[in-house]
Amino acid sequence: MSDFTEIWVYLSSSPLLHLTLTLIAYQIGDWAYKRSGGLAVLNPVLLAVAMLVAVLLITDTDYGTFFEGAKFVHFLLGPATVALAIPLYNQLEQVKRSLPALLSSLALGSATGALAAIGIAWALGAGPTVVASIAPKSVTVAIAMGVSAEIGGLPSLTAMLVLLTGITGAMFGPALLHLLCVRDSRAKGLALGAASHGIGTARAVQIDETAGAFSGIAMGLNGLLTAAMLPLIWRWLF
């Protein structure tokens, strides 16, 4: 047991360990998701997060140590986001034809998403700090944390809520859209990108290229709209 402890102490100090654990956790999650036939509750990101959290708690590893290894995956978020330009370029003509509807829908969707989050949190008795933290939940972490800090929220809490929003949207969004008889790939992508940012966009890409293109542009524009509009809405309300 002593030898095992010494080996673990050595390995846990190596960034390669946590990078490997991250990749293995996602592969297990992806395998379980595919084996289930695409069952929503077995979302690969959700399973990977749950497994990694369990490992960190069991081994008493702090997040800073873990991130030293996992930051390579974090770095790849940049190229992955840029790669979303490929389906967007391929669907550029459709985007141009749909631009008026796309922009108006995004403006309404961005405002509705923020106001709904504020209203529900306030109605359930959340304090101003929690309400401010949940308001920018539907945009990417970097933007959401900045907006949250500006309006008096807790960026760390916002980051967690953004992750939960993305996973929930990717898990249940397609089924909900199907239930609501939304069949147009453009509308599906727009809804997933605006409501569930990058994780929703990854799910939209799995639907088809058109959904992925519209989800990517919705994710980007919703981030800009939220950063511009939410502080103004917050000052107006409070």
What pTM was computed for the model?
0.76
**pLDDT tens, 179-195?**
988 888 888 888 888 88
CA distance readout (Å), 100 to 34, 94, 105, 212: 37, 12, 8, 19
Q: How confident is the model over 110-158, as pLDDT tens digits?
A: 888 888 889 898 999 888 888 999 988 888 888 888 889 888 888 888 8
Least confident segment among 28-32, 61-65, 232-236: 61-65
Residue ranges per structural domain of the chain: 2-75, 84-237
**Residue 153 in tokens:** 């929220």
